[in-house]
Structure 1
Amino acid sequence: MTDVVISAAAVLNALAGGLAGFADGLRAGRTAVTGVDGRLPASARTAAGAWLEDFSVRGWMDRQGWQPEAGGGLIRATRRSAMPAQTAACVAVRAVLDAGLTPGDLDGTALIVAGGNLAMGYQAQALEAFAAGSLRPSHALTCLDSDVIGVVSEATGIRGEASVIGAASASAAVALIAAARLLSAGAADHCVVVAPLAELSAAEFRALHDSGAMAGPHAATAPHQLCRPFDQDRRGFVYGQGAAAVVLENGRRALARGVRPLGRILGHGQRLDGRRGTEPDPHGQVAAMRAALAAADVTPADVDYVNAHATGSVAGDAAEARSLHELFQGGRTPLVNSTKALIGHCMSGAGLQELIAVIVQMEHGFVHGNPNLRQPLTPALALVGPAAVPAQIGLAMTNSFGFSGINASLIVARG
């Protein structure tokens, strides 16, 4: 495939508001998971989350050191939008600026938004307002996932083609695959992939808990200890709030612009299980990982590190452990961790948060710890313990597996 490089990245999550803070938090193994603290009714059956505290566009601008006049376009673009579009615009603007894209570049830059049903919290509030006899006309736009396209394109100046790609928890990985294909086909020189905050309502929290996927209250476990990927005592995933964006471009184009890449996407694979539901299937996962390795023209023995999808769910972690063991058995075993232990499960945006975690660890020479890993699910995998370990990562794999049997895997190399 065409050389696809990551020329800029921006991240916002409960752990950090930028790459430097993200690197520090990952290395320290600092979890951003806390209690609910009145954010949700008891009927949601949710005990923990990794929350963005008091997020606002102006507050984000202040933390970037921007004066109001410098971010006037961002403020105007996000004024009537929901939180997913607001967070997406912030990280997209940061990534575009860091990539050094000119107005001429942006005329042909593509935009892909990762996720579907992004503003469920907003939707629930709008229905309550409607029932009380009040509804803003702007709801006609705000209720649509495509509103993120309009907000981000206005805030950044992107004017190329655009789409929204929904693939459950694999949305961001599938969006990255679509972007890589656009660049390989020569349909764009640059592509911004943005994964907005995925906003849930109390109904989604309740359904995810009752389905067995999300961790609920546990009297003997503190909120920050509930997310336990690959631990025998895992109880389900913990929700995380966050947004992320990357600028991808053709490697030759980046070289001509004098860009020092943050990383390279060497290969990707996506496979379906062929059935509806929430139960994971190791066969589909292995097929996606093997497809990614084949596209990158590398072998399992070449992989130094795996950023696993591992959410801390009972069925999901066991299935991924089996699939990783099948792929790497009989050869060199890479280090394995899960960033969700630190930032929660950012739902449709998880894959982009985790891609950025991969390139941060590559750059700084470590693999972050799994702080709540006390009883490893299996000795067959080189699971990183509670503390970070030094590591020179030349080649990494990052996995994203979603409901309805959607499996995606990416192979990432150092810049």
Structure 2
Amino acid sequence: MDVGLLRHQLEFMQRDADKRLALVTGVGCGKTMVAAMWLLQQANDGQHSIVSAQNYSALHKVVFAELQRQARRFGMQYDYNKQEKVMTFENGAVIYGASSEAYDSVLGLTNISNYLADEAAYSCEQLRNNCEERCRGVDLKGRVIKARYRYTTTPSILPTSLWFREMVKKHPEMVIHATTYDNHKLDPSYVQDQIEKYGGPNSPFVKQQIYGEFLDGFANNIAVDVNQFATSRPDHRADDPVWIGMDVAAGGRDSSVYCVIDEYGLVEWVEEFHAETQKLVATMLDLNRKYKVEGVLVDTTGGFGVATVDYTKRTMGTDGVNFAGASDDDNIFNVRTQMYVDLGKQAKESHFYLPDAGDSLRCRNQLSYTTYIINNRGQTQLVPKADIAKIVGGSPDHADALVLANRARKLAGASVRKSSDVRAIAARMLAAHGY
């Protein structure tokens, strides 16, 4: 980490006379390290704090992992309760963890002196309100403590960021910015990889993720409206054709997801954990024996699904697609964006079934955070997968598998039942139950 950048950011956070301060930066600037060091300083002074993150996974794997790393570095003795997300120190000071997944969990806490929101733009406003309301009381020495609120984040255009954007817009004096380039210790190849990851040097998301800038024109455009999915369907019959979408686990992920659909919508989810190619292929062949498979589409971005395609292409007609590939519509940024736009139209125009339970509920949640902007080329462009992963606690694998299955159906020239076919759908559902 660049020592100069770290010192500059930490000194800013230590301005105790300021009630609210925000550190808004590009990726790789050490925000979480600065947050951990500031929180540990308050604990060393005998003050209780709350630290929040957008979900419990980030809270444990990122925030408290960094707190423990820095505590060991400074020789601070502590006890960490992983289940409760609470860190207690020798002097009695406590750092409590909070998440948008359970924002009411902090309501019983008292004598809190400080609140720090890590990745604030990805956390809900109710979490922030509840945590700030806890900041009142005295420290361990009986001194009255003035509440201090600190926020660290990379900007976001997701709906969760609206409260944060409005706050810093109203109070620009509370913000310090840093870009990824300000960390001179970063390998230039890392920065270049990030630029490519977020769509190339001309992508507006590079301004957000690398330069730490808020994009003009807050986007609250959902690519797929989950409220437009049907929540019932006729029973699937053995002779009904199906299409399969497969999102293969890539670096940093531990599961591969298969989505099976027919003309009415979802039929089945299958998820394989830590599976090698041989197991992935075996599962695909099992699905082929179980259903009348008409088409399979696999995500081959980064090369992770290529072997599965090669082994099942002859048997099942499997094909691959690179999410970053060019769309056949000049107004759409890439293939992945096009697939989500197509599914959105499908949900709106047709009787497409996706229940609101089990794995489908996970899929609905992922879709609910998949928003888009119109980029500086006038193209529709999805938010980065990394932004969605920050909120839902992992890559949107189920949503990707669903759009792949839908594209496999579309490429085969098949269609799902139109909403106007409701009588035929109802008749088949009644017949399936003996009426």
TM-score by length of 1: 0.26
Question: With structure 2 as the length reference, what TM-score do the two structures score?
Answer: 0.25
